[in-house]
Amino acid sequence: MTKPANFSLLHTARTLLPGIGLCVAITAAAYALQSVEVLIFGKASLEALVLAILLGTCVRSLWSPGAGWQAGICFSARTLLEFSVVLLGVSISAASVVSLGPVLLVGIAAVVAAAILVSFGIGTLLGLPPRMALLVACGNAICGNSAIAAVAPVIRADAKDVAASIAFTAVLGIVVVLGLPVLGIAAGMTGISFGIFAGMTVYAVPQVLAATLPLGTLAVQMGTVVKLVRVLMLGPVCFALSLLAPKLPPEKPDGSDVTAGPATPKRAGFAQFVPWFILGFLALMLCRTFGLVPAGWIAPINQVATVLTVISMAALGLGVDARTVTKAGGRVTTAVVLSLAGLAVLSLLLLDVVHLR
């Protein structure tokens, strides 16, 4: 007997609620701490976005949520995060993208391509298998976990390599979000220059919010636009790698070299090239461009997007397990860190080219 649709929805809600509730509780604590900062110091040095990551990581370090919590945590970390990106579309018009100018747009594409080559070269020199090196390179140069997830089936990557790459992305993503604003303020960067720098170096689209918020609205808007242009490079990169994949030798079962039989390749779909939330973002951006979004709606929608992002950052913190990272080995650690440093250097060179440093 087929179960009614409302039963299925109720079951799904019950499955998700514990994890979502935990993330919401951490979010509430983050906003409370932000309010305490304002009350004591007159301003919030650490925004709720950052505090949610830190609190989530602390909770995960002291307690590992069981299976009953995981569905809601994953939903918060991924689906709510994607919805927050979609809603951000109302804050940016197509004119703002065009305003970046052809030099900056070409520069973003060039930095992504150069970062992939540099990172792949670093991984190869350190002895990483080609597929692992490509995962690290694409995750570093484009958009972290989303790029790794999209590239993995295209190049037939080993599951353990994918897990290690994503673990490093989670940890380094937090390090970048926390450290980049300090670097930007210390260097005296303007909102525009820091927005470009953050948009070029931060892994995930919503994390750009956390990294740029301390330097103001202009930094947030510029960082978001630059980051989205960078994410759109995922399509061409996946297409290029699909041509390269047949030439890559298969890996050994232990992942140490490349001699075992190949995995069955998966056909890359359109959703892998351009994630649905990017399409949603572009749709709302066009609605804003053509005046289809009432002016009075923009601020409330942005507030909802911010809250969803904070919840997602709490979930991200709950997913960080330093032990998984340490198991990946020193070579992978070195490759990821050096690749991130290389991307930062290339991004600073881009600022010099467009005379914004």
Indicate the helix (H) or strand (E) that contains 223: helix 217-231
Q: DSSP character for 75? A: I
Per mean pLDDT, which of 80-94, 139-153, 213-227 is the most reliable?
213-227
Q: Is residue 302 part of a domain?
A: yes
Length of the chain: 357
CA proximity to 203, closest of 151, 145, 281, 278: 145
Rounded CA-CA distance 344/22 in Å is 34
Phi/psi-derived region of residue 44, left when phi > 0, alpha when psi is between -120 and 50, beta in every other case = beta
What does pTM read for this prediction?
0.64
Rounded CA-CA distance 234/313 in Å is 23
Q: Is the pLDDT of residue 94 over 80?
A: no
Q: Is residue 278 part of a domain?
A: yes
Domain region containing 321: 79-247+269-354
* Cβ pair 246, 262 in contact under 8 A: no
CA proximity to 28, closest of 48, 42, 45: 48
Rounded CA-CA distance 117/342 in Å is 10
Rounded CA-CA distance 253/158 in Å is 9
How many Cα atoms are found within 13 Å in the side-chain-facing hemisphere of 103? 7
Residue with tokens 């951006």: 285
Q: Which of 71-80, 214-223, 260-269, 291-300 has the least mean pLDDT?
A: 260-269
Rounded CA-CA distance 51/238 in Å is 35
pLDDT digit string (tens) for 301-334? Answer: 988 988 998 898 888 788 766 555 556 567 788 8
Q: Is residue 264 part of a domain?
A: no
Q: Is residue 136 part of a domain?
A: yes
Indicate the helix (H) or strand (E) that contains 341: helix 330-353
Helices (H), 88-129: 94-98, 101-125
* Cβ pair 242, 248 in contact under 8 A: no
Q: Is the pLDDT of residue 356 over 60?
A: no
The type of residue at 259 is T
* Cβ pair 224, 208 in contact under 8 A: yes
Q: DSSP character for 245? A: G
Quote the percentage of the chain above a pLDDT of 70: 83
pLDDT digit string (tens) for 15-43? Answer: 999 999 999 999 999 999 999 988 988 87
Q: In total, how many domains does the chain have?
A: 1
- Using DSSP's 3-state secondary structure scheme, residue 13 falls into helix
**Count of H-run helices and E-run strands, the chain:** 18, 0
Q: Is the pLDDT of residue 207 over 90?
A: no
- pLDDT of 36: 94
Q: Is the pLDDT of residue 253 over 60?
A: no
Rounded CA-CA distance 319/56 in Å is 8
CA proximity to 85, closest of 219, 227, 212: 227
Q: Is residue 52 part of a domain?
A: no
* Cβ pair 313, 49 in contact under 8 A: yes
R_g over Cα of the chain: 20
Q: Is residue 110 part of a domain?
A: yes
Q: Is residue 109 part of a domain?
A: yes
| Confidence band, pLDDT 50/70/90 cuts, at residue 250 | low
How many Cα atoms are found within 13 Å in the side-chain-facing hemisphere of 152? 16
- Please return the burial class of 309, using the count of CB atoms within 10 Å of its CB with bins 0-12, 13-18 and 19+: buried
Q: Is residue 28 part of a domain?
A: no
* Cβ pair 219, 192 in contact under 8 A: yes
Mean pLDDT value across residues 119-130: 90
